[in-house]
Amino acid sequence: NAGVTQTPKFRILKIGQSMTLQCTQDMNHNYMYWYRQDPGMGLKLIYYSVGAGITDKGEVPNGYNVSRSTTEDFPLRLELAAPSQTSVYFCASSFQETQYFGPGTRLLVL
Amino acid sequence: GQSLEQPSEVTAVEGAIVQINCTYQTSGFYGLSWYQQHDGGAPTFLSYNALDGLEETGRFSSFLSRSDSYGYLLLQELQMKDSASYFCAVRDSNAGNNRKLIWGLGTSLAVNP
């Protein structure tokens, strides 16, 4: 099992550009999450999904969108990137009480 | 509001024991989890407590007191590789069945030789 994979590992965006952060899991988990982590801080939930076709907002959804067409994939879309979206983005899936995290995507918006 | 409090930094020496505390204020409570994150890495699951008491997993133990809204992570026989950030997280029972977690800001543990 590869677990949770994320691409890209690192990306630089210009203000106003858009991009999609990819997340895939091969553990057949229904629950998936997108977090952002700013330096020295905890994790903030952006969006989550409880199964294919079902998504909902977390604490900080503004400026982001998600879709969940399959159990495996949960892409995060950034529209009109802003410097405030500079962060590390983690995707996770969960089974029972354990969340399994991908390696993260470091995003720099200049 | 909902919040978790944990110390921002803890320092210890190799071979020692360290305790990282976490107090929580949430509208509902289902369980307390602990995650470890090394610099530049992803969080990894350490433990979960739903009931009062101590859960032991090797050198790491986790304790919960629901009546005190308090838990701690105990790390024994500290090794240099234990230098990392440790996060407590609460699953809120009022959040439905979405398994969302409320996260603390993390405790940075430095283990010195």
Give the side-chain half-sphere CA count within 13 A for A60. Answer: 16
Are residues A13 and A108 in contact, defined by beta-carbon separation less than 8 angstroms? yes
Query: What digits encode the pLDDT tens for the residues A55-73?
Result: 999 999 999 999 999 999 9
Strands A105-109 and A10-13: parallel
Are residues A18 and A107 in contact, defined by beta-carbon separation less than 8 angstroms? no
* Cβ-defined contact of B42 to A102 (cutoff 8 Å): yes
For residue B8, give how far its alpha carbon lies from the nearest alpha carbon of chain A (Å).
Answer: 9
B81 φ, ψ (degrees, to nearest 5): -70, -10
Residue B97 pLDDT > 70, yes or no? no
Using an 8 Å CB-CB cutoff, list residues of chain A that contact chain B.
Answer: 31, 33, 40-45, 48, 50, 56, 58, 90, 94, 97-104
Query: What digits encode the pLDDT tens for the residues B19-54?
Result: 999 999 988 888 999 999 999 999 999 999 999 999
Task: Name the closest residue on chain B to residue A89, using Cα atoms.
Answer: B42
B85: alpha, beta or left, given left = phi > 0 and alpha = psi -120 to 50? beta
3-class secondary structure, B24: strand
Average pLDDT estimate for A4-31: 97
Sign of the C-alpha dihedral computed for residues B95, B103, B33 and B100 taken in this order: positive
List, in order, residues 6 or more apart from A23 with CB less than 8 Å away: A4, A5, A6, A32, A34, A73, A74, A75, A76, A91, A102
Task: Name the closest residue on chain A to residue B90, using Cα atoms.
Answer: A97
Residue B26's pLDDT is what?
A: 84
